[in-house]
Amino acid sequence: MELDPRLWGIRSMLSRVRHKILVLSGKGGVGKTLTTALLGLAAARKGLPVGALDLDVTDPNLHVVLGVDPGREWPGERKGILPVHVAGLRFMSVAFFTRGRAAPLRGREASEAIREILSATNWGQLELLLVDMPPGLGEEMLETLKLIPESIALVVGTPSRLSRDSLARLLSLLAENMPTRRILLLENMARGEAVLTSLAREYGARYIGSIPYDSRVEEALGDPSRLLDTGPGKASECIVEAILDYLSS
């Protein structure tokens, strides 16, 4: 019999992480990476031990939002690979090992990379780990949901009709195939009244709040303090509170 010891390594490495949140979306461009960064930074500002993991193994860019240069930073080692500290956040990304360059991975190879990062990263004790997933309903999402069965799905969508169409498919898949998984829905780039609440109700997801559109975000990318001072940054502090309330209920 042959076994993959990383499957046990993942459980061991995540055993001191209280809540694992996979940030998901059906389509790209809905602000999933920015949301991961803002929620992580807002939680860190509250003094919570929090981690952010970029699992977009072929096209990682959470480091851009956080202002980390993967060509200069190198994670340390102690009983595994140690995340890099950014504005109170513990951060890990495939980009450290690819130096931010393109890594053309096929489906199975992407899963191998995901298993490797999850089994090797020593997060220590965390209250929250936010995992920025690649968009889509394919290999990476299915593999990660299987590897971290206790994780909570935080689905990000925008009010756009295109996003809603894709959201419905993702929520339906999660609701049908993983009925016991806790699902949160976050509305990003909101303009006025919330429009995704009914979609959340329809698929048994908890609508956790909205983050407004703010054109100043683009200029603040790479600067955690400035990001938190934007409208989305302030809204993220409320979303973190809502998530913590939900998790403690």
Is the distance from CB of 83 to CB of 13 less than 8 angstroms? no
The residue among 11 and 46 lying less far from another protein, judged by its C-beta, is 11
Which amino acid is residue 34, in one-letter code? L
Nearest CA-CA partner of 200 in 211, 212, 209: 209
State which of residues 16, 18, 29, 77 lies at the interface with another protein (CB under 8 A): 77
Q: Which stretch binds another protein (CB under 8 A): 39-47, 78-86, 136-144, 238-246?
A: 78-86
Name the token pair of 178: 């993983």
CA distance 233 to 212: 9
CA distance 162 to 169: 11
Size of the site for another protein (CB under 8 A): 40
14 binds another protein (CB under 8 A): no
What element of type H or E holds 206? strand 206-212
CA distance 216 to 231: 9
8 binds another protein (CB under 8 A): yes
Q: Which stretch binds another protein (CB under 8 A): 28-36, 116-124, 149-157, 182-190?
A: 116-124
Neighbours of 215 (CB within 10 A): 8
Q: Which stretch binds another protein (CB under 8 A): 107-115, 154-162, 212-220, 236-244?
A: 107-115
125 binds another protein (CB under 8 A): no
Neighbours of 163 (CB within 10 A): 22
State which of residues 11, 46, 164, 226 lies at the interface with another protein (CB under 8 A): 11
Q: Which stretch binds another protein (CB under 8 A): 2-10, 27-35, 144-152, 189-197?
A: 2-10
112 binds another protein (CB under 8 A): yes
CA distance 155 to 50: 19
Interface ranges with another protein (CB under 8 A): 1-13, 57, 75, 77-81, 94, 96-99, 101-106, 109-110, 112-113, 116-117, 119-120, 122
